[in-house]
Structure 1
Amino acid sequence: MKKIILFLTMSLMVLPVRADEGMWFLMFIERLNHRDMQKMGLQLTTEEIYSINNHSLKDAIVQFNGGCTAEIISKDGLVLTNHHCGYEAIAELSTPEANWLKNGFWAANHAGELKPKSLSVRFFVRMDDATKRILGKLNPNMTEAEREKAIQQESAAIEKENSENGKYVVSVRSFFQGNEFYYFVYQDYNDVRLVGTPPESIGKFGGDTDNWEWPRHTGDFSMFRVYADANGNPAEYSEKNVPLKPKHYLPVSLKGVQENDFAMILGYPGRTNRWMPAGGIEQNVKYAYPAWVESSKLGMDKMKVHMDKDQKVRLNYASKYAQVANYWKNRQGMIDALTKHKTAATKAKNEADFNKWANKAENKAKYGDVITTINGYYAKTNEKARHDNYLVGMLRTSAFAATPAGLGRGLEQYANSNESGRAAMKGDLDAYIEEVYGTMYLPIEKDVLAAQLNLYATKSTGYEIAPLVAKIGKENNYNYTAYVNNAFDNSIFGTKEKLEAWLANPSVETLKNDPLYLLSSDLMTKYRAKSEEQQKLDADFSKSFRLLVEGLRVANPDVKYYPDANSTLRLTYGKVRSLPKDKRNDAKKNYYTTMQGEVAKYKPNDEEFDLPKRLLELYEKKDFGQYADKAGYMPVNFLTDNDITGGNSGSPVLNGKGELIGLAFDGNIEAMAGDVIFDKDLQRTINVDIRYVLWVIDKYSNAKHIVDEMTIVK
């Protein structure tokens, strides 16, 4: 979820950013945020939150596997994140015989912890401002392509200078649509092992029905451990590696939460579009997102038919299905919220006000054409946006829409190489083929590809589709089933065995005439295609959007602005805060949920609302141990008004002392417009209460040794 109100009123004045709005850089909190945070309940200094020279909170926050957030919660590198963030690794480690995803898992000791094939965490070391240096290489006469080239060259130099010969990963990122630049220094650890997970019936309780909804009763957590070499340095997996001794780890509070308590979240929010113009919102609501929703739902439906019939297939496709389902509901929620709140109309009014300012004599030369250019861009790309989302929906749900084209380039190089060259390439090709085909279920792949081709070809009517797809459709009345089945039968990509046979006797001619290779290449060529007209539209839009953001900030110099999220570490602060009373929630106040409400939702053998027998027995006995609230109930989830979005999944929720009180995992669907605009009344973050996490580990799972590893504050 996300938020912004940064546009202007008729007088071109911007309202101050609310305390609970904003995703802030840690290096600026002393100047921009610390005083507000203290008034709300923060008891830490800025040095205790972000320090380069001493350990601080930032040293306990990691980016988890590139797409989520996690936190270190013990001196031995114990990592806490969401169940849905660890879902892919848990599914990979599971088998029908040892189904950790379904039944849960807790390692009895370090030796019992499980290593997925590929899992990493990224520690944030420091950041710094590179704006003056990069802007100093640019001038107003540059084309957008020249500007981008200069930025890339200077960014590469900055990244090399700060990497310390490869010790660190350095990333220069653009902010405020290219008006500012900062670089971030990271250190990656690739030996990360599964410590424990609750069963799916706890970790994913409520399923797609409850996703993005409140009240919520989900134990969305899982635990891992970071390993390093004997000196604490990153190292690839080895039995000799030891648990990492982190610079800082979070203490865990059992004090519980009350309404209006201070709440702070640090994490890696993925993407917001708070500066998005009205035309972009309108395009998403009417063209892009409906196509996204439709193609996602189609792919899910086709996958689920087969997943319901076979437990192994379900495990192999569980993560992919969950990812598609999450954004399917998200995008539909955004359509509904943005439409209901008339967000595009509000932005259009503000842009009209900006346009008046921009066309004053002193501003006209630089800003006068900005709004006209932006509006023209969206008018000319609406149908393309719809087309692109149907196409991307196919690429997202169908492995064979993209894989043959991508793999084919390597196969052609292999076929054209001599014997020694092929020998050098063979190992990597074999590993990639095993990765792609090892968990693939061909009946799913055939059904999804045929259905998505039909949807793409028949719904992308306002923009020219990929030529081979169009030709096949016309020849088959847009029924692609027979074509796809025949293509699989006659393609070297049809099975792993056929690919291996081709590697033993490679032929470029066979490859280039392969039906799945031709189809996939057609789709990927269309995906990457950009006409000269489109390139000019993109360049003009990029410049105008940059000037729009610059102009808004010039016109309102006293406003505290924060940049859009882009997977860099941010801090957001707010309070524990209720929504209006909801009869579906048994809690006395609608900022928390209880195990009583969880059990009330229980449906035996239901895919989404089943609960383990042991949990029900412990509930009946009221065996909550030290984790019950002082009022007697067992807490499950709670609400705050923090400003977060995708990528913040797994982020720690901290009290004023920097103690862990919860784990962020979702937002509420009523505020789904938060990617674009902050709603101070509706915006909420849904969190797992840390007391429920500890109860599941200790009382339900009998893994008290994991709790004993933490520093518990009572």
Structure 2
Amino acid sequence: MRLSALALLLALPALRADEGMWTFDNIPVKQIKAKYGVDLDAAWLKHLQLATVRFPGGTGAFVSRDGLVVTNHHVGRGAIAQISSAQADLVKNGFTAARKSQEIRVPGLELMMLVSMKDVTERVNGAVKPGMADQEVLAARLNALAELRRTEEAKTGLTCEPVTLYQGGEYWLYRYRKFTDVRLAAAPELQVAAFGGDPDNYTYPRHNLDFALFRVYEDGKPYRPEAFLPFSAKGVAMGELTFISGHPGTTFRQQTCAQMVYARDIGIPFQLRSLERQKKALQAFSATSPEARRLAAEVIYGIENGHKRLSGQLLGLAKAENLKKVEVAEAALKAAVAKDPALQARVGGSWDRVAQAVAGQQALLRETTYLGAGRGTLTGRVASLRHALTLVWLAEETARPSAARISEFSDGNLKATTAQLLSPRPVQKPIDLALLAAGLEAAREELGADHPFVKAVLGGRSPEAVAKAAVDGTKLDDPAERRRLAEGGRAALEASTDPMILLAKQFDPFSRAIQRRMEEEVTSIFNEHGGRIAEARFKAFGRAVYPDATFTLRLGYGPVATYANGTGTLAQPFTTFMGMYDRHLGWGGNAAASEHGAWTLPERWLKRQSKLDLATPFNFIYACDTVGGNSGSPVVNVKGEFVGINFDSVFEGQGGYYVYDPDTKRAVATDGRAILEALRKIMDAGPLADELVGK
């Protein structure tokens, strides 16, 4: 029985024509054609899909027939820092390979290209048996997905990832081709790529040359991609329709009111305080030497970026009209469900169950943060401790039947977990030391000195002493040592005297216990009853709405468009090189570096200023629906030509992680014309510019 037409109308979110992060199997082509007169055919979409790649934490795109990939400088910054040194700081000073032989390989950097998608919803739901408890349902679905992943990878030879959409309305396997030989070809200086620094972050107008060029190789030769995006010679204009293809990380638009209120009042404020502690610890380390400053810069940047993004989300949730939209939609969906007896029996109590789980989430927040093993926890932030705990769990879990293991260690997921453990990406011990000491200190403050975990781990010692002993003495920064312990199994772990392994063993029982409680009291309920609510919404609207972002490939669309940014006027659609130099001079130039260093410029940008066409469009603002993870996403015109690269969105629009606001949701891109101008006139990279335009 379908919900009534009136109920459908009432419960349907106010979906604007340009709202949405659409999966490539469900692009709203009719909607786009009706509004813009543009007919996207299957070949156009497939080309864009295959030209787009996923970076760790962001997106990129093939932009030449010889495997050049463009992404944001800030997405590639970690990789650039990895191949830098005190003698050759490529982040600070930039880099251009004069020829392909000078391009620098980044060990451990992997790019992923989505090849195809497979709907496995029926098979996953078939694993759920009548009478199962919520936690058993969660485990059954996770095990089914893991097994499907294992068999699909064996059959296709591709890297497969399970994807949950519509909060459990659909389950998919995404099949990727993985590229492991990735080399840096060119990058501008940090001071130009991130001009304006943290003060200008998430604002507009902007002047950021936020791009970097990498090249993918296979068998020692430049990869010839099946699809790439040529740079547009014309560029883009005000009001022109654009499309963005990328991997938005996470949105929360389908959460309940109770979950959003928790995020506003508890979750986000706690995360902000945690980030402030980490930043303080890293700033103290950074002040000890120029090399410490270089090592810490990337991590501090990430913390500052996350803090500002969360602050914007909090601002959006604090707007009464935003949560009012959610309340109205939720009430309408509840009323619609109540009119369907079968649906009411299945879903009617789910909102209360989710609210109960939210209370459990709040009660466990501190212990989850300091005892848990997931992203955002203490162990998740400290690379060597994360590796150590993975090794401890690997030895324990693989001794159990696959279905009884923690999901990450089941047969279907073991390959991916092991690959992360053995990745050659470097572990920076000084960063681990600063973060571990700060995290243990925070645990003592938040949990109390008498908490069993604090007493077990510290044993009467200071957080600094415990952290120093573990980090200084560990050999887990060496991938070969991690491999030796992984292959040695339980016997190797029992014999190990590595201090980080010993610390992980102290964490282990507490991590397991808190994970078990979280699954029982929170995660399984969110999964099951959030899924039931999604089921009702899905029954009403089907695929007429888009799923929350999951760091999977999505398409967005919208025109180059201004907005009222609270200053009493409209934001300009384009900035120029002229504007960057004006802002530089307006802050006192390089003479003001000590006080206003965010707006200084590298010397070669001052010496070669006269070579530039200062009227060249630099950044532009447009109305595509984006969030974090879309950094580095290609922005293309209706011909599928590259016109820019997404690097940010405005502060006022950060509430869009939870509630879409068409008046403030604006993304910011570096114009392709600015990239070409800089390559030719400043960066001594004319051949790369020629390659991008097909010469």
TM band (smaller chain): 0.7 to 0.9
- Letter of the 2:245 counterpart: L
Picking from 122, 125, 135, the partner of 1:132 is 122
Question: 1:436: Cα distance to partner?
Answer: 8.7
Residue 47 (structure 1) aligns with:
42
SS at match of 1:573: strand
Picking from 547, 558, 568, the partner of 2:532 is 547
Say if 2:17 is the partner of 1:19.
yes
SS at match of 2:105: coil
Picking from 543, 546, 550, the partner of 1:566 is 550
- Letter of the 1:209 counterpart: P
- Letter of the 1:456 counterpart: A
With over 3 angstroms needed to count, the CA separation of the structure-2 counterparts of 1:447 and 1:172, relative to structure 1, is closer
- Letter of the 1:72 counterpart: F
- Letter of the 1:563 counterpart: P
Contact 1:27–1:50 under 8 Å retained in 2: no
Say if 2:49 is the partner of 1:58.
yes
Question: What is the CA deviation profile of residues 322-362 of structure 1, one whole-angstrom value per residue up to 9, with x for unaligned ones?
Answer: 32332122122212221134644543444344334434462
SS at match of 2:118: strand
Distance in 1 separating the partners of 2:11 and 2:394? 56
Distance in 2 separating the partners of 1:560 and 1:294? 39
Picking from 624, 638, 662, the partner of 2:612 is 624
- Letter of the 2:52 counterpart: I
Distance in 2 separating the partners of 1:688 and 1:290? 32
Unaligned runs of 5+ in 2: 1-5, 398-417, 486-490
Question: 1:516: Cα distance to partner?
Answer: 5.8
Say if 2:601 is the partner of 1:611.
yes
Question: What is the CA deviation profile of residues 614-638 of structure 1, one whole-angstrom value per residue up to 9, with x for unaligned ones?
Answer: 223443x3x335xx6xxxx232211
Contact 1:86–1:222 under 8 Å retained in 2: yes
Residue 695 (structure 1) aligns with:
677
Question: 1:484: Cα distance to partner?
Answer: 5.0
Contact 2:392–2:504 under 8 Å retained in 1: no
TM-score by length of 2: 0.83
- Letter of the 1:382 counterpart: Q
With over 3 angstroms needed to count, the CA separation of the structure-2 counterparts of 1:410 and 1:377, relative to structure 1, is closer
Residue 3 (structure 1) aligns with:
none
Question: What is the CA deviation profile of residues 643-666 of structure 1, one whole-angstrom value per residue up to 9, with x for unaligned ones?
Answer: 112221111101111111100011
- Letter of the 1:33 counterpart: V
Say if 2:319 is the partner of 1:340.
yes
Question: 1:60: Cα distance to partner?
Answer: 1.1
Distance in 2 separating the partners of 1:656 and 1:41? 11
Residue 360 (structure 2) aligns with:
380
- Letter of the 1:388 counterpart: T
Contact 1:76–1:246 under 8 Å retained in 2: yes
SS at match of 1:601: helix
Distance in 2 separating the partners of 1:121 and 1:433? 17
Question: What is the CA deviation profile of residues 441-493 of structure 1, one whole-angstrom value per residue up to 9, with x for unaligned ones?
Answer: 2xx655543333232322347xx9962414677967xx6446656x469x843
Contact 1:295–1:393 under 8 Å retained in 2: no
Give the paired residue count: 647
With over 3 angstroms needed to count, the CA separation of the structure-2 counterparts of 1:703 and 1:273, relative to structure 1, is same
Distance in 2 separating the partners of 1:433 and 1:542? 31
Distance in 1 separating the partners of 2:322 and 2:48? 36
Unaligned runs of 5+ in 1: 1-7, 230-240, 414-428
Distance in 1 separating the partners of 2:62 and 2:311? 34
Question: What is the CA deviation profile of residues 520-560 of structure 1, one whole-angstrom value per residue up to 9, with x for unaligned ones?
Answer: 44445434424876544333332211111111233446x71
With over 3 angstroms needed to count, the CA separation of the structure-2 counterparts of 1:374 and 1:254, relative to structure 1, is same
Residue 275 (structure 1) aligns with:
254
Question: 1:699: Cα distance to partner?
Answer: 0.7
- Letter of the 2:527 counterpart: S
With over 3 angstroms needed to count, the CA separation of the structure-2 counterparts of 1:450 and 1:531, relative to structure 1, is closer
Contact 1:22–1:572 under 8 Å retained in 2: yes
Picking from 220, 223, 226, the partner of 2:216 is 226
With over 3 angstroms needed to count, the CA separation of the structure-2 counterparts of 1:388 and 1:147, relative to structure 1, is closer
Residue 459 (structure 1) aligns with:
446
Distance in 1 separating the partners of 2:212 and 2:289? 25
Question: 1:95: Cα distance to partner?
Answer: 1.4
Residue 318 (structure 1) aligns with:
297
Distance in 1 separating the partners of 2:308 and 2:212? 23
TM-score by length of 1: 0.81
Distance in 2 separating the partners of 1:306 and 1:659? 45
Question: What is the CA deviation profile of residues 364-397 of structure 1, one whole-angstrom value per residue up to 9, with x for unaligned ones?
Answer: 3112211111112212321322443466453355
Question: 1:193: Cα distance to partner?
Answer: 0.6
- 1:154-165 equivalences under 5 Å are 154-156=144-146, 158-159=148-149, 162-163=152-153, 165=155
Farther off after superposition, 681-690 or 400-409: 400-409
Distance in 2 separating the partners of 1:434 and 1:535? 28
Picking from 419, 430, 440, the partner of 2:429 is 440
Residue 421 (structure 1) aligns with:
none
- More helix as a share of residues: 2
